[in-house]
A and B are shown apart, each in its own frame.
Chain A
Amino acid sequence: MGPPRLFTFLAIAVLALAIVPVGSAVFVLGFIQGDSPCVLCWEQRIGMALIALIGLFVLRYGARPFYLGLSILVGLWGTYMGVRHSSLHLARDIGQGFSVEIIGAHTYTWSFFIFWCCTAAIALLIMMAQQEDLAAAHGPRALRGLNRAAIIVFLVVIGANIVQAFTSTGPPPFVGQSDPVRFSFNPRHWVWSMGEFEPAPIAFRGRWAVEKPDVASVDPNPATGPFQGLPALAVSSRRTLNLPWRGTPTGLAYDAATDRFLVTTQDGVYLATGALDRIEKHTIVDTLFSVDLGRFVGAAFLDSHTVLAVGENKSFVVLKENDGTRTDGADRNFRYFLESFDDFDEVTRSRFTTVRARMMYVMSAAFDPATNSIFTVTVPNATAKRIVVSRFDRGDYTLAGEFVPTLAAGAPLAPQKDAPGLERLYVTAAAIADGRLYALSAAHSTLLTIDLASHQVVAAHTVPGPDRPTGLAIKGSDFYIVTASGSLLTVGRP
């Protein structure tokens, strides 16, 4: 292919880039529809124009390595810009976005696609080039025909963008806005802002950088808690569990029908006797296979032979107890478990999706047979300081309700002025009985009694002694509490 044809293709590409995304953005979206780009949109539009401008350099001076390399760099940077901008809205519900749609997709999502196409087109043009195209030109090439049209169209489009940029962002040092107002030729409606220069933290992951929960990070002292003068529950027994599990206890549940406890460790699921003196069955779940389960933090019996283990990231696995008639687990369950393949079969492994509890980790789980629901309770983090109780229907493991507990009016826990204090708690263990959720906070060793009908905290007690509690179960008239260090406390229910 001779040089003229290559440069003709390039001129067409420059024209297409200048007219379709950059030109239509200013003339159609801007001047006709009144759309104004946000600060991120502006840079993406400028990035596209820069690729067209580099194309003009090549048309004039030849395919010099500097221009080819720079065009690829801008294309890659533009792809990043498109992904970074789109990520602000990608997780929203159907049809929800920012500003206008073009052929069913919002403008910023088109940006990623256009930059990707630009980079691919640059690669194709380089592949089409002959050796003589890449050789250093002796002087500027003459611009005729399409080449000249490309540069004229480019100047017209950039001229129009200069007008829009002046009206909607202003002269330097003003910059584009993150949430711009509608475009207008009337100076009364122009907004020139320096808002983007205001101090703001620099971060890589932004609000997604949420610290992992850690039961050891909180203050267990009840005396420093948000509620003073709480009644203390009496510890009736305390002992160390000497059971051969892998890791440390992270969750506890009890099934009265079979008189067995369910204990989870970081990746282990154990069925133990009602006296917690012997393990009957167990398995180690491959928490990294398929759905990342993180560390198990909560356990629940869904029925006497079906158990649930919930990870800190609200992912979960449901296991069905094997009745012992099948012994081919080594092959059947190799993909699910790391050891003890015959004790359980995996029923499902998935993730709980939340709304209010989104962007928060959990450290507890409980099952309520009365409503056939699974409950989780969040732990606060640096950016979300609140307790959110989420309820999931066991039928489809889908969110069925969420609430932020409040203090019951007139109860001993009357709201304190400006500081209710619930957000200072760190719930690491939970159990349900009689329509009440018992949530044990490792912070300040406080047990909350939350009425599931009114969503109110109707009582609170301190529990002396549990160092880093991680599991709570109800057996008869007692609470059973396990701790990260492997201790077991028995406490009378109030």
Chain B
Amino acid sequence: MEFLNLVLMFVTAWLIWKRPEKERVARGLLVLSVVLMVFLFMLGARTSLLPGLNY
């Protein structure tokens, strides 16, 4: 999934550079990438969502 996310980011940057008129698409991909990052981190950290500290 990290591979997919990085591909999304590569495409987004490429759109910014080569197809700047596609801002709406690029922004959608950006949001998707952020959501995917948050989901994957929570997937790995779900057994203790808060930092493992002495509360």
Residues of A participating in the B interface, judged by any CB pair closer than 8 Å? 38-40, 42-44, 46-47, 49-50, 53-54, 56-57, 60-61, 66, 70, 73-74, 77, 80-81, 83-88, 90, 140, 143, 148, 151-152, 154-155, 158-159, 161-162, 165-166, 169-176, 178, 196-197, 200-208
Contact = CB atoms under 8 A, between A and B. Distances in A.
A88 B34 contact: no
Contact of A46 (B6, B20, B50): B6
A204 B49 contact: yes
Contacts of A88: 52
9 contacts: A42-B2, A43-B2, A43-B40, A50-B37, A140-B21, A143-B17, A165-B6, A202-B47, A205-B55
B44 A176 contact: yes
Given A43-B41, A56-B13, A205-B48, A172 B1 contact: yes
Contact of A151 (B6, B17, B48, B54): B17
A39 B42 CA distance: 10
A140 B23 contact: yes
Given A53-B12, A165-B6, A40 B50 contact: no
A169 B3 contact: yes
Interface of B: 1-7, 9-10, 12-14, 16-17, 20-21, 23, 26-27, 30-31, 33-34, 37-38, 40-41, 43-55
A154 to B, nearest CB: 5
A202 B17 CA distance: 41
B43 A175 contact: yes
B52 A169 contact: no
Given A57-B27, A151-B16, A155-B14, A169 B46 contact: no
Given A83-B51, A205-B55, A196 B6 contact: no
A176 B51 contact: no
Contacts of B48: 203-208
- The B contact surface, by secondary structure, is helix
- Which has the most chain A C-beta neighbours within 10 Å: B14, B37, B40? B37
Contacts of A50: 9, 30, 33-34, 37
- Which has the most chain A C-beta neighbours within 10 Å: B38, B43, B51, B54? B51
Contacts of B5: 46
B20 A140 contact: yes
A53 B9 contact: yes
* List of 10 A-B pairs having minimum Cβ-Cβ separation, nearest first: A206-B48, A140-B20, A87-B51, A43-B41, A39-B44, A165-B3, A87-B52, A165-B2, A42-B2, A84-B51
A204 B52 CA distance: 9
A70 to B, nearest CB: 7
Contacts of A207: 48, 52
Given A140-B20, A172-B1, A204 B34 contact: no
A203 B2 CA distance: 24
A208 B52 contact: yes
A42 B43 CA distance: 12
Nearest to A166: B3
Contacts, number: 153
A43 B44 contact: yes
Contact of B13 (A61, A84, A151, A170): A151
Contact of B3 (A39, A154, A171): A171
Contacts of B41: 39-40, 43-44, 81
Nearest to A143: B17
A38 B44 CA distance: 9
A158 B10 contact: yes
- Which has the most chain B C-beta neighbours within 10 Å: A42, A43, A44, A203? A43
B51 A155 contact: no
Given A57-B27, A208-B53, A208-B54, A175 B7 contact: no
A208 B21 CA distance: 50
Given A40-B45, A70-B34, A161 B6 contact: yes
Nearest to B31: A70
A166 B1 CA distance: 9
Contacts of B50: 84, 204-206
A176 B27 CA distance: 25
Given A46-B2, A172-B4, A197-B43, A77 B16 contact: no
A207 B47 CA distance: 8
Given A53-B33, A175-B43, 19 more contacts: A43-B40, A43-B44, A44-B41, A46-B9, A50-B9, A56-B16, A60-B17, A61-B20, A70-B30, A70-B34, A84-B52, A87-B51, A140-B20, A148-B17, A154-B13, A158-B6, A165-B3, A200-B47, A205-B48
A56 B14 CA distance: 10
A49 B9 CA distance: 8
Contacts of A175: 1-2, 40, 43
A159 B7 CA distance: 8
Contacts of B9: 46, 49-50, 53, 158
Nearest to B50: A204
Nearest to B17: A151
B44 to A, nearest CB: 4
